[in-house]
Amino acid sequence: MRLSTTVGRFGGEEEIEIEFDFNSHKLRADQLDKVSTLAAAFADDINAGKLYAIVGHTDGKGSDSYNCKLSAKRAATITSALLVGGAKAYLQPIGVGEGLLKDAANPANAQNRRVSFLKLDDNAETVINAFKALCD
């Protein structure tokens, strides 16, 4: 997610991704600070009613079907944590499996096991459908 000057009190731009262990959708202890930062941003009144995609990813190991399910679980884990943190934004969890590798040259790289964030605007339905198509 890019936290811009229009997103709460965090100013500037910073991409935040939540990382996961291999074959897991459980939130890691070393990622809690990132989740807290995101929860505060999503709880800020400036984000009330805005729509964000919470996008789960996997590495290239495993079957497409398994990776789609795991990525959806990762997105749901983070969405739940953000809602517990008081998110006022609308959050749409989506799993894309291994469809959008961060490090395509190294499909097994741990950088690929993550949840990323995308603010959705007028084209939200098109973007959500494109993400969902990666796991259909």
Has residue 69 been placed in a domain?
A: yes
* Residues 86/41, Cβ–Cβ less than 8 Å: no
In a domain, 54, yes or no: yes
- 9 located within any domain: no
Average pLDDT taken over every residue of the chain:
88
Q: What confidence tier does 136 reach under pLDDT thresholds 50, 70, 90?
A: confident
Give a yes or no: residue 36 inside a domain.
yes
Please tell me the predicted confidence (pLDDT) of residue 51.
93
CB atoms within 10 A of CB 26: 10
- Asked whether residue 77 is assigned to any structural domain, the reply reads yes
**pLDDT band (50, 70, 90) for residue 2:** very low
Tens of pLDDT, residue by residue over 15-39, are 789 999 999 999 999 999 999 999 9
For residue 8, is it within any domain?
Answer: no
Query: What is the total count of domains within the chain?
Result: 1
CATH of the domain at 111: 3.30.1330.60
Q: What are phi and psi of 8, to 5 degrees?
A: 65, -150
**Residues 19, 98: Cα–Cα separation, whole Å:** 14
Within a domain: residue 83? yes
Tens digit of each residue's pLDDT (9 = 90 or more) over 49-81:
999 999 999 999 999 999 999 999 999 999 999
What is the domain range of residue 127? 18-133
pLDDT at res. 14: 54
Residue 128: DSSP 8-state: H
